[in-house]
Structure 1
Amino acid sequence: MELQGAKVLVTGGAQRLGRAIATELARRGAHVMIHYHSSADEAQAVVEELAALAGEAGSVQGDLAVVAEAERVADAALKRWGGLDLLVNNSGIWGKTPLGSVTAERWDELIATNVRGAFFVSQRAAPALRASPGAIVNIADVGALRPWRNYTPYLVSKGAVVTLTEALAKDLAPDVRVNAVAPGPVLLPESSSEEDEKKAARSTLLGRVGSAEDIARAVAFLASADYITGVILPVDGGQRLI
C-alpha cells in the first residue's frame, strides 16, 4: 500500500500511542480520521496537526464498547473519505486487576472495548477495505504472548486481539491484509517513577524503554508491506525472550 493519499481511520487517535500512529501516517502523506471517546480537546488539536502535515484530517467521537457506536465510527470515516484503505484498531483500555478483585463489570468493559469494538469496526469497514484493497493493523500487547501478573482480564483481551488478527487475515484474504503490532514497554504511564522506568528497561534485551514512535513506525511498515498478513509483530526490545 502506498501511504501517500491513503484514506485512514485510527481508533483512539487523540492521545498517546494513537496520536503517534496518526501523526506518523499523516507525515507519510495519509489522510487520517481519528476516533476518540472523551478527549474532544485533544482530538481537535491532533486534527489540526494532521491537517498541517497531510492537508486533510478529521475526527469522530464514539464509545467502541457499544456496537452501534463502533459501527457509526466506521461509517463516519467511510462517509468522510468515500472509502477506506487502512484501519488501525488502536483504541483500548487497561489497568491492574489482581486475582480476587476482578468484577464482572470490569471484565466486560475490557473485553467490550479492546476486542468487541475492534471487531465491529473491522466488520463494518470490511467491504470498503476489500474494494481498496486495503489493510488492518491491530494493536495487541507482548503480554498476550508472555503474560505477567495481576493483569489477567486485560491480557485475555489482548490475546483475543491476537486471535482476531489471525482470524480476520483468513476471512478477508486475499483482498485485505490483517496484522498486529504487539508493543512491549513503551510510553510508560505518566505516574511512573524513575525506578519504574529502570525496572521496565531491565526487562528488555536492549536495556531501554521504547517510544510511541517505535510503534508508529511498525504500524506504517505493516500497512505498506504488501506480502505480509496474519503476523503479530513484537516491538518490545526483546522483552518476550527474558
Structure 2
Amino acid sequence: MSDQANKAGDVKPENTADNKGTDSQKPAKNEAIVLLKDLVVIVLFYLVFTTFGWGSFHIPSGSMEPTLEVGDRIFVSKLSYGYNRFSFNFDPEFIPEERLFDDAPERGDVVVFTLPHRGYEDFIKRVIGLPGDTVQMKGGRLYINGDLVDRTLVRDVNYTDYQGHERRVKEFEETLPNGVKHRIYERTDRGPSDTTALFVVPQGHYFMMGDNRDGSADSRELGNMGFVKHAYLVGQADVTTFSLYDCDQGKDISCPAGVPLGRFFKLIE
C-alpha cells in the first residue's frame, strides 16, 4: 500500500510540473503569433499607404529653399498624377511606365520625380515649363513663352546654410503665368545659370527649377537633369510632417527650445 502511495506520489509531481510547463508555454506562443500578425498587418498597411497614398521623403539639400528646408520630412501625394512603376519602392521593372489614373501636373506644382539616367535617384523641384512652352533665363529673370515672369522683393536674408557657409540672398515672391505665387532665393542675377539658351519643352516632358535659383542643379542643365519625362513623376509634395531643420542657421523660423516647430505640418505651396 505504501509502495503504491509512494509510486503515486512520485508520479504526481512530475505530471503536475508537465501541465504547468505546457500551460505557461501556450500563452507565450499565442502572444508571439499575435505580435507577428500585427507586424505583418503594419508592414502591409505601410506598403499600401506609401505606394497608393502618400510617400514619405526627406530634404537633403538646399535647392528648394525657402519653400523647403534641409531636414524637412514631407508627404508626397501619389494620387495626384496616377501610378506606374515609379510609384513603387525600388521601381520594379515588371510594372509598365504607362500610368494608371493618369493626370498632369500644373505649372507651379512642387513634385518629386526619379531620373533613371542618374541611378534612379529621387529629386524635388517646381514645375516651371509645360509641354510646348519656351523657357529662358536672361540676367537672372525668368521668361516663359516670351513673357517676363513678375517678381517682387520681399526682404534680404542673411543665414548660415546647412554646409556652414554664410549666405546673403534676396527673397522674392514670384508670380507664374497661371497666378501661382511662391518664394525664391537669388544670390545674384549674374550666376552661371542666370542667362541661358531658349529651351523648348518637348511633348510629354516638363521643365523643372529649384526655388533657390543660384543653388539648384535643374532643367537648365540639359546634360545633368534636362527635361523631365512625364513617366518619371512620383507625386506632388503636399505638406511637411516634421523637420530636423538646424535652428542655428538664423532664419526667421519659429524654434522654441531649438525645435523647429515652424516647419511642422506646413502646407507646401
Please classify the TM superposition score into its range, dividing by the shorter chain length: under 0.3
TM-score (norm 1): 0.25
TM-score of the aligned structures, taking structure 2 as reference length:
0.23
**Bigger fraction of residues in helix:** 1
Q: Which has the larger radius of gyration?
A: 2
Structure with higher strand content: 2
